[in-house]
Amino acid sequence: MFDTIPTERPITPLLDNIHEPSDLRQLTKEQLPSLVNELRLFLLYSVGQTGGHFGAGLGVTELTVVLHYLYNTPEDRIVWDVGHQTYPHKILTGRREALLSIRQENGISGFPKREESPFDTFGVGHSSTSIGAALGMALAAKQLNTGRKSVAIIGDGAMSAGMAFEALNHAGDVKADMLVILNDNDMSISRPVGALSNYFSRIWASKTYYSVRESGRKVLQSLPSALKLARKTEEHMKGMVAPGTLFEELGFNYIGPIDGHDLDLLLTTIENLKERSGPQFLHVITKKGKGFEPAEGDPIGYHAINKIEPEPEPITQLAKKANKPKYSNVFGRWICDTAEQDTNLIAITPAMKEGSDLIEFADRFAERYYDVAIAEQHAVTLAAGMACDGLKPVVAIYSTFLQRAYDQLIHDVALQNLDVLFAIDRSGLVGEDGPTHAGVYDLSYLRCIPNMVVATPSDENECRLLLNTGYQYKGPAAVRYPRGNGPGAEIDRTLTTLPIGKSRVLREGQSGIVICGFGSPTYTAKQAADKFDATLLDMRFVKPIDEAALLKYGQGKLVVTIEENAIMGGAGSAVSEFLQTNHINTHTLQLGLPDRYEEHASHSAMLKRVGLDQAEIEKAILQKLTALHL
């Protein structure tokens, strides 16, 4: 008789059995390292299929596993900051397969979204909101006596925003029961990570140390001088090995920094902090892109990646793309050219050097470049202060980020009629990033501000012309341009200016229809103008509007306005207001974004959905003419 040879059974990956965090909590602590590896591999695979944010998620894989392992989510509230770091969280919370549709039309969002999952406790696309939101949840738990725990995870970059410290200050003042975890993935706050630091962090987080500390405090309360000495001694001990003094002064019990990739250390530390009352602060050091060597070496380049295609594009196509500058490149080239001519030019950006293409400027004109970190309000007021004393600041900022500095724009710049230029990138719909990043309100919120000049270039050359025009204007001006490439217009490298509020005629028609294009949709409307024999105006300016052109062309049978902005209060509203004020009873058709948030999809799909692609523009005009029997 032969011995039976056992057949080796395939091992089912742990991740395959994790459908939600309650499944994760059935694992032993010894199984967690394997799960972390599987989670990281799946993230590498899935983002390679879809594209998306990448490096931050790899860096918080261990932390994500530990939080869902120790906390009773979703009953306990875990609040992520920004959202770039939440891909592992989505995988563990029932969206593993859906991750292959992330940021695609009808797929899941690239950011936390309350409507998508009960585990997404707070919707977020912008930074520095997590502490305030988690504090609100902690105070709600106290008010309602639910016993829920609240945890905020915030990155070191997001800690540069004032609202993060406003929330910390409030949390310390009300002694909220919450944990704030600082995910320090750039070592921008501190570097003392090592055996001694980890050792002391274990001690300070331990139940023994906490018990001794609290007992000692009670004993020494009757001896104020001795209590004060004990507190000072503790502060000095912590100060020698950890940069926690600031957070302690704000009322938090500071622990760290600890290695955010040491599972055992994370488990022990957070398990102890979980049971503490009052505001707790844990500082963890992680490596952005952990587990993928190229991302570890280039965390900026691998912050997000495109879908990995099986076949490379033809060399001719790649060369064509390389020779076609994006709007941000047009701005980057213009600001360097202008800085050569004007030594008073100052560039300011809230942590958007790469996105706004200020790389060359920062290198060549370092003494005139200010990256204020994620502090949009400060960026605008800083520019106002500089303008008061004779400098010419250019604030390079994304449309949605300028929303966060709206009061400063009005109160600090426009009210005082200060000479500041706002170069507003990422205007209009932004495709896969979805509604949190869509710059579709700037025309509405800018045109109502007195003293503002607001320009909307329709192509790359117009972008350069209007940037220079806005720069030469003595007062607050804004030039808003979209993400990505334009139609490929040839760029005149001279520093030419245009008359403020002057449009240009792209096509003179005979049908009595006039199409007023604002920004990039102007070129999309060219075929419609040909089809209906319409006059096509590139309006260039939303404020001041070209009144002479509207008086000349606006008295036909139909005025059509097209903008990649909310219809309510936008450029089309400016045209309609002028026509009404001047008793011009022309029929109007306003094309733009309806009163709703547009979910993520490709940019072209979103344009079709809102009626701003070529075919939909023609259809809307035809329907309007039919309805009017024209």
Q: Which residues are catalytic?
A: 288, 376, 404
Q: What is the DSSP string of 28-77?
A: -GGGHHHHHHHHHHHHHHHHHHH-EE-HHHHHTHHHHHHHHHHS-TTTSE
d(C-alpha 483, C-alpha 227), whole Å:
58
Closest listed residue to residue 95, CA positions, set 21, 29, 151: 21
Q: What is the dihedral of CA 75, 80, 86, 88, to 10 degrees?
A: -50
Given the structure tokens 């991740």, which residue do they identify?
A: 15
Half-sphere exposure for 232 (CA within 13 Å, toward CB): 6
Short-list 450, 460, 452, 399, CA closest to 593: 399
CA dihedral defined by 178, 184, 187, 190, rounded to 10 degrees?
10
Say which residue the tokens 């000495």 belong to: 229
How far apart (Å, rounded) are the C-alpha atoms in residues 500 and 512? 26
The tokens for 77 are: 């509230």
Nearest alpha carbon to residue 604 among 596, 612, 595: 612
- Least Cα distance to 41 among 118, 2, 96, 82 occurs for 96
For residue 269, the one-letter residue type is T
Closest by CA position to 617, among listed 572, 570, 560, 539: 560
30 token code pair? 């010894």
Residues forming a β-bridge with 392: 345
Q: How far apart are CA 534 and CA 526, in angstroms?
A: 9
| 498: nearest Cα among 547, 444, 449, 456 | 456
**Tokens linked to 329:** 């490149």
Q: Which amino acid is it at 76?
A: D
